[in-house]
Amino acid sequence: MVQAVRNAEWFTYFPTDYRWSFNVMITLSVAGTGGSEVGEVDRVCRKLQGHVGDDAKWFEEWRAMGDQVRAMADDAVERGSRRSAMAHYRRACEYYFAAERFRFPKDELALSTYRDMLDCFRKGGEYDDDHVIEHIDIPYEDSALPAFFVPARPGNGERSPVVVFFNGFDGNKELNWFLGTAELVRRGISVLSVDSPGVGEAIRFRNIPLRHDYEVAGAAALDWLEQRDDVDASRIGIMALSLGGYYASRSASMEHRFAACVAWGAIWDYHRIWKERIEAAFEKQLPVPGEHLAWSTCSESPLDALASIEGFKLDGVVQQMECPFLLVHGEDDQQVPVADAHSLYNAVGSNDKTIRVFSNEEGGAQHCHIDNLSIATPFIFDWLGERLGAKP
């Protein structure tokens, strides 16, 4: 059974299905950064009317839109139109991402769609004459974490501050591009966007599962950055959204090389959140199907997965944080209660700490402010720029 949206404070295409509505809002929210076109999103959603909750139909229609827009990109390449090719490939990337995220099990059709998404992102970067996008692997235990690095001032010899940008439970590094990577670069902050354990390519193609001691991934990113001659190692921040509020907070608490930390959405006790979801047979507000937890932890069942995330709790951890800390949350976050944000903020040990809760009245009140990124991201990026001493 699907879970309905609790109120009408934000626009919903599918009021009877929170998961579908929330993910449509993600796709709409990145239109301003080239991740979608409102008319194309609307065309998909019109075809989905009358099929609410049918994830196979969701996959079919979003994949079809990805194919259509990728064909436009290929045509632009043949015509020699670099800017058009870049724009079309990036929208196709986001539509493939939207298609694949609900498909379980992750069969070959799901994985081929994900490869299409990766290919479109890379091609979009190849035709981007304004940015240098380096696709790299970060050494991590006996494997490597897929990532891309975007320098703020490529080739000029100046060391810039940088932010390690993790996504959350069900996002990926490519989505981070549309959530503000280019804007951070314009502000003089280099960006290392990473598919961390349990996320993106790391889980799909390298079998790297979700883990509670996320500082291992954070330290791997720091080690890699410290080898670069265009990075100021004393000005490395970490930022992550959704479950990334746990990733970033845990990493910055245990790894004191980080100079700033942004929790883009609070997580306090993730084990409790999922215990409640499982006990409710997943009839709660979820961003993806309930199967995602067992898959991302490489577990055999939801109960096995629940046991594997026992350590996803921040009490007793964030008291050790020393760097400046920003926590942003939505008043009407329907996945993580605002009370958890206050618990996290009160426990953080940093002397310089800030909390900003966006209200229904102003917008940005939903999970990770997906209902109004335009007021949330400037606040986050201004704070990061100040704490990291960035020069636009």
Domains identified in the chain, total number: 2
State whether 166 and 218 are in the same domain.
yes
Distance CA 158, CA 153 (A): 7
- Answer whether residue 152 is part of any domain: yes
Look at residue 168 and tell me whether its pLDDT is greater than 90.
yes
User: 158: pLDDT confidence band, cut at 50, 70 and 90?
Assistant: confident
Using alpha carbons, select from 296, 340, 285 the residue that is nearest to residue 314: 340
- Note the pLDDT of residue 157: 80
- Note the pLDDT of residue 8: 57
Distance CA 137, CA 205 (A): 13
Distance CA 79, CA 255 (A): 49
DSSP, res 236: E
- Answer whether residue 112 is part of any domain: yes
pLDDT higher for 156 or 24?
Answer: 24
Question: Average of pLDDT values for 220-248?
Answer: 98
pLDDT digits (tens, 9 = 90+) for 68-97: 999 999 999 999 999 999 999 999 999 999
State whether 26 and 138 are in the same domain.
no
State whether 348 and 377 are in the same domain.
yes
Peptide bond connecting 15 to the previous residue in cis, omega within 30 degrees of 0: no
Using alpha carbons, select from 287, 384, 305 the residue that is nearest to residue 2: 287
State whether 258 and 239 are in the same domain.
yes
- Using an 8 Å Cβ cutoff, are 322 and 260 in contact? no
Q: What does pTM read for this prediction?
A: 0.97
User: Which amino acid does the sequence have at 19?
Assistant: R
State whether 51 and 151 are in the same domain.
no
Q: Is 192 helix (H, G, I), strand (E, B) or coil?
A: strand
- Answer whether residue 2 is part of any domain: no
Residue 78, Cβ neighbours under 10 Å: how many?
8
- Using an 8 Å Cβ cutoff, are 357 and 163 in contact? no
- Among residues of the chain, what percentage have pLDDT more than 70? 99
- Answer whether residue 273 is part of any domain: yes
- Answer whether residue 355 is part of any domain: yes
Distance CA 161, CA 226 (A): 11
State whether 119 and 135 are in the same domain.
no
Distance CA 82, CA 262 (A): 35
Using alpha carbons, select from 377, 338, 10 the residue that is nearest to residue 163: 377
pLDDT digits (tens, 9 = 90+) for 281-295: 998 999 999 999 999
Tokens 């970033």 locate to 248
Using alpha carbons, select from 93, 58, 57 the residue that is nearest to residue 72: 93
State whether 31 and 137 are in the same domain.
no
Task: Using alpha carbons, list the distances in angstroms from residue 219 to 57, 243, 264, 310, 389.
Answer: 41, 18, 20, 22, 22
Distance CA 251, CA 321 (A): 9
State whether 249 and 159 are in the same domain.
yes
**Beta pairing class for 134-140 and 353-358:** unpaired
Final residue before a domain boundary, out of 101, 129, 157: 129
Question: Average of pLDDT values for 344-368?
Answer: 97
**Beta pairing class for 143-150 and 134-140:** antiparallel
State whether 220 and 118 are in the same domain.
no
Mean pLDDT of the chain: 96
- Answer whether residue 3 is part of any domain: no
Question: Average of pLDDT values for 196-225?
Answer: 98
State whether 241 and 335 are in the same domain.
yes
State whether 96 and 123 are in the same domain.
yes
Final residue before a domain boundary, out of 129, 157, 187: 129
- Using an 8 Å Cβ cutoff, are 59 and 101 in contact? no
- Answer whether residue 225 is part of any domain: yes
Final residue before a domain boundary, out of 106, 129, 152: 129
CATH number at residue 57: 1.20.1440.110
Question: Average of pLDDT values for 30-49?
Answer: 98
Task: Using alpha carbons, list the distances in angstroms from residue 121 to 23, 66, 95, 149.
Answer: 19, 12, 11, 13
- Note the pLDDT of residue 2: 57
Q: Read out DSSP for 88-99?
A: HHHHHHHHHHHH
Structure tokens at 110: 């799901």
State whether 96 and 243 are in the same domain.
no
CATH number at residue 387: 3.40.50.1820
Distance CA 103, CA 66 (A): 15
- Answer whether residue 103 is part of any domain: yes
Look at residue 246 and tell me whether its pLDDT is greater than 70.
yes
Distance CA 157, CA 167 (A): 29
Look at residue 52 and tell me whether its pLDDT is greater than 70.
yes
Q: Dihedral angle at the C-alpha atoms of 66, 71, 77, 82, nearest 10 degrees?
A: -40
Look at residue 129 and tell me whether its pLDDT is greater than 70.
yes
Domain around 27: 15-129
